[in-house]
Amino acid sequence: MSLAVVNCSQLVTLAGPLRPRVLGEMRELAIIKDGAMLMRDGVIEKVGARVEIEPLIEAGCEVIDAGGRVVMPGFVDAHAHPVFAGTRADEYEQRALGATYQEIAASGGGIRSTVRRTRAATLNELVNAGKRYAEWFLRNGTTTVEAKSGYGLTLEDELKILRAIKRLNEETPLSYVPTFLGAHDVPDEYRARRAGYVALVIEEMLPRVAEEKLAEYCDVFCEEKVFTGDESWRILTAARCHGLGLRMHADQLSLSGGAKLAAELQAATADHLEHTDTEGIKALKAAGVQPVLLPGSVYALGSTRYPAAREMIEAGLAVVLATDFNPGSSPTPSMPMILSLASTHLKMTPAEGITAATINAAYSLGRGDQLGSLEAGKRADFVIQDCADYREIAYFFGIEHVRQTFVEGRSAYRRGA
């Protein structure tokens, strides 16, 4: 089955070296003006100027006219918690009235309130809730999402969430990369004996998750009052022995040494980093760890403590942007909203934002060879944005930019359809 897209005012290809982009490279989007793209069986065959591509279009090929709009790779959202039951609209209201995220968590709400609801839900209920969010991702131009467990916190409930992620990957057009986050919080029944919970994660959960091949990565929420550096080290070291890649929630609410630990473990990513200092940034650079910045959670928590994105870019880190979609700290699936926050608050240019949300994100998930740019041989995951200049995606905020989203050359969302 062959497919062509023509009449792209800007074909934002992100073609470039076969590695994550750093420094000035983050501003190079390899845009083809009046571009076009040929695809076959869900894979990109050729990308170029319209005049070069159009003569190659064979009879029987489906041709999509982008109408002079921007065409770019689907967003790769490298940090999300998209499987949970219920919402926390009640806590959002309490926070508007002055309560803080940490106060709510300390009194048994926060992550643990979503855990109670998620434990009570069936696999089917989680899949159905997840399908609603899958549609939100696609309608905002995301074609691949990293998906963490972490709202079960018992062996069976963590497996249930990971099985829901597997089903969502099979039953929706969105691609999911599963991450085991058994160490998201210490559940209610282990509050008085936390060592027992760490042992459960290491001795029972990790072996089962690995044996059933339900996750590619393991993540830990390393934070004061959650998991200490030592506990995080033990869990992540065990995960590595089971063949899992490593990611980490690091230095989100305080400078707890998370970035340094991620560097010591040579994790794939260190995520959040709102409190990371210059030393932490140097450690990440020396170890080749990619920072995943999540300005949606800073914004939604009403904080002004954004991560030091410019310092990270200038230090040569291959910065990634993601939504952190979850029911508590960041209830948005929208990468365009994240690009707006990145330009306004992280002082990243719109081009740097797009690089961080596509090719760099793909590399952080071990998929840089398949996703994140529009180049021959890559998966035909692309988006037609309703603008002629890619900078408008970050600039106009609070609107829906996407006109149509394609996954493996098939339409996965079309506005108004």
Can you give the binding site for ligand NIG, defined by CB under 6 A?
81, 110-111, 114, 221, 249, 252, 297, 324, 326-330
Q: How far apart are the first and last CA of the chain?
A: 22
| Residue 138 CB, nearest approach to ligand NIG (Å) | 22
Q: DSSP character for 302?
A: T
In whole angstroms, what is the distance from residue 400 CA to residue 386 CA?
8
Alpha helices (H) in 57-110, listed in sequence order:
89-96, 101-106
Judged by CB under 5 A, does residue 219 bind Fe ion? no
Q: Report the residue number, 324 or 375, with the smaller CB distance to ligand NIG.
A: 324
In whole angstroms, what is the distance from residue 161 CA to residue 343 CA?
34
Which segment (5-13, 275-283, 320-328, 392-400) binds Fe ion by CB under 5 A?
320-328
Q: Report the residue number, 295 or 328, with the smaller CB distance to ligand NIG.
A: 328
Q: Give the count of beta carbons closer than 10 Å to the beta carbon of residue 95.
A: 18
Q: Report the residue number, 69 or 81, with the smaller CB distance to ligand NIG.
A: 81
Contact 52, 86 (CB under 8 A): no
Question: Which residue, chain included where needed, has tokens 């740097």?
Answer: 352
Q: Report the residue number, 73 or 109, with the smaller CB distance to ligand NIG.
A: 109
Q: Within 295-314, which residues bind Fe ion (CB under 5 A)?
A: none
User: 268 CB contacts (<8 Å, ≥6 apart)?
Assistant: 217, 245, 246, 247, 289, 290, 364, 365, 366
Q: Report the residue number, 223 or 324, with the smaller CB distance to Fe ion.
A: 324
Contact 57, 22 (CB under 8 A): no
Q: Which does 160 bind (CB under 5 to 8 A by kind): ligand NIG, Fe ion, none?
A: none
Q: Which does 404 bind (CB under 5 to 8 A by kind): Fe ion, ligand NIG, none?
A: none
Q: Is 45 helix (H, G, I), strand (E, B) or coil?
A: strand
String of contacts with Fe ion for each residue 241-260, x by CB under 5 A: --------------------
Q: Which does 110 bind (CB under 5 to 8 A by kind): Fe ion, ligand NIG, none?
A: ligand NIG
Q: Which does 111 bind (CB under 5 to 8 A by kind): Fe ion, ligand NIG, none?
A: ligand NIG
Longest dimension (CA), the chain: 71
In whole angstroms, what is the distance from residue 81 CA to residue 319 CA?
20
In whole angstroms, what is the distance from residue 373 CA to residue 355 CA?
9
Judged by CB under 5 A, does residue 324 bind Fe ion? yes
Q: Which does 327 bind (CB under 5 to 8 A by kind): ligand NIG, Fe ion, none?
A: ligand NIG
Judged by CB under 5 A, does residue 77 bind Fe ion? no
Q: Which does 332 bind (CB under 5 to 8 A by kind): ligand NIG, Fe ion, none?
A: none
Contact residues for Fe ion (CB under 5 A)? 324
